[in-house]
Amino acid sequence: MLKRLLVLLWFLGLAMATSYPLTVRDDLGRTVVLSEAPKRVVVMLPSATETLCAIGACDLIVATDDYSNWPASVKSLPKVGGLYNPNIERILSFKPDLVIASKYGKLADTLSRAGIPTYAVKTETFEDIFKTARALGRLVDREAEAEALVAKIQAEVYRLESLAAKAKDRPTLYYEIDPTPYTVGPNSFIGVLIAKARAKNIIPASLGLFPKISPELVVEKNPVVIVLGDAPYGITREKIEARPGWSGIRAVQDGRVCELSKEETDVVHRPGPRVAQGLKVLIRCVHPEVLGQ
């Protein structure tokens, strides 16, 4: 079976090899031109770092943002800032022939003006995960590997979603990203994972993908489960219970407040190759019985 897969990937590689010069449009609608296959890549968001490594392009990365920490090999790479505090001079010092950046912030335009090909990505919905994987695969001549990654992720997600489907109920759920509070809408990639974990998001789709909400809305909706994605940063059950009206929320009263670890938050919040692990974390919070835990 493995031999057949390797042969298939070899044929796919022949059929899907990227041709350079390459002209593409990024998620800002900007034209990006690569004269040849990139050899020195700077990546400015963790999900893209993980995706490039998952398609066999880790060796091309010469520096990353401050938060890229998976796989373990990227921890030792030079760090060049984050979304809102990129170190432009340090990025340029690595002489990249490609930078992968978020569509948010001004980094993409700044680097492009400096003559550095910069591809901006927007990975906010579940389908964006696969679109981004394919786009990055094309940029670095790993198109066959990107297709194989997409297939692997989809198979893993389907297996876990099928397990969750065995649960008898579909409880209402509130997911907190940070105590502002920011949360997730049902059409965001985390919102889709919540549905696949067989839970019902209390946030209306009309509020957007990652809306800032009123704490009173959570009290009004009275969720059965609360998941704290900001727990690694000190937001505990005790702290949310102290919020006005929150002590009466069913999830708090029944002890169904799921505090994520830093590792769990990473896999839930990053729209990349470990998204199935993020789904497993949410299933554990909502229906641990289907996982045998």
Res 10: pLDDT: 55
Res 86: pLDDT: 97
Q: Which fold has domain 2-153?
A: Rossmann fold (3.40.50)
- The set of residues, in sequence order, having a beta carbon less than 8 Å from that of 238 and lying 6+ positions away, is none
* Angle ∠(202,174,48) on CA atoms, nearest 5: 110
Res 85: pLDDT: 95
Res 158: pLDDT: 98
Res 104: pLDDT: 94
Question: Is CATH 3.40.50.2300 what the domain over 167-291 is classified as, yes or no?
Answer: no
Res 292: pLDDT: 82
On whether the CB atoms of residues 249 and 173 are closer than 8 A, the answer is: no
DSSP for 97-119, written as a single string: SEEEEESSSSHHHHHHHTT--EE
Q: Chunked in runs of 10, what are the mean pLDDT values of the chain (293 residues)?
A: 54 72 97 97 98 98 98 98 95 98 94 96 97 98 98 98 97 97 98 98 98 98 98 96 97 98 98 98 97 78
> Does 2-153 match 167-291 in CATH topology?
yes
pTM, whole model, 2 decimals?
Answer: 0.93
Q: Where are the domains of the chain?
A: 2-153, 167-291
